Amino acid sequence: MNSDVSDSPWAGSAPPKNIAFVATGTSKAEDGFSRLVDRYGNCPVEMAEVVVCLGGDGFMLETLRQVMDRPVPVYGMNCGSVGFLMNPFDQDDLPARLTATQSAVLHPLHMRATCVDGSVHEADALNDVFLFRQTRQAAKIRIDVDGRERMPELICDGILVATPAGSTAYNLSAHGPIVPLAGNLLPLTPISAFRPRRWRGALLPSSAVVTFSILETEKRPVAAVADFTEIRDVVSVVVRENPARSVTVLFDPGQTLSERIITEQFSA
């Protein structure tokens, strides 16, 4: 997932006036929503210059998916827990804050999953695409990259491909590397690998096409997940970056996604 970091869409021009506020269902987010709407009004998302998202990273991902391919940036205010994609909540001088932001253009991963019954399912993911065993049996997976077999058999609980923005999520929990946005790299990370036991994954160029082939599908069924989309009983999954789709995320100065990724690598 490439990311191009640039100035605010309103740099050198008038601050945005048409702001759409969306909030998750928590009391903290709903309270912030009420205060912001009372102060700045609320515009329909379809007519907005910017969408302000109140919640956590999960709700931010939902919002980004809803506005994907539209020319409207999203500014997150943290009303959740981690808030890696969010900015601090502050209701004061919001138009000025938006004018001072920096923007990052993100491209999702595309998953094409073929199931045992021959059906084909496609979905995009801003965080990651991962495969995971459905039963007590470990999964057996062959890995091809750009049409070349790289691992004939991985025995594991699962495996994932993450975007740079998603490299601090499930990928990091699975001991995968954090990837700077400008690196144009995709982490390929095993989940509880049994054989080869010492394999820790790989870093692939963002142009790579990764194909997972499930071995012994009847005995060792596997599900594939692209963010919010889960497909069960897959026999093969192809993952690649989707440069045709994009979303724009806004961050306060000095708090860009690239800076947060660097900071995360030095945290305990």
Q: Are 171 and 187 in contact (CB under 8 A)?
A: yes
Q: Known binder of ligand: residue 233?
A: no
Residues labelled catalytic: 57
Closest CA to 159 of 107, 201, 113: 201
Q: Known binder of ligand: residue 131?
A: no
Q: Known binder of ligand: residue 170?
A: yes
d(CA 158, CA 170): 12
Q: Known binder of ligand: residue 146?
A: no
Helix (H, G, I), strand (E, B) or coil at 29: helix
Q: Which residues of 76-105 are buried (b: 16+ CB within 10 A; e: fewer)?
A: bbbbbeebbbbbebeeeebeebbbbbbbbb
Q: Known binder of ligand: residue 57?
A: yes
Q: What is the dihedral of CA 186, 200, 166, 161, to 10 degrees?
A: 50
Decide: residue 69, CB within 10 A, 0-12 exposed, 13-18 middle, 19+ buried. exposed
Q: Known binder of ligand: residue 127?
A: yes
Q: Known binder of ligand: residue 144?
A: no
Q: Are 203 and 180 in contact (CB under 8 A)?
A: no
168 vs 56, 75, 174, 181, 264, CA distance in Å?
A: 15, 19, 10, 11, 8
Q: Known binder of ligand: residue 157?
A: yes
Q: Known binder of ligand: residue 98?
A: no
Q: Known binder of ligand: residue 173?
A: yes
Residue set of the binding site for NAD(+):
57-58, 127-128, 157, 165, 168-173
Residue set of the binding site:
57-58, 127-128, 157, 165, 168-173
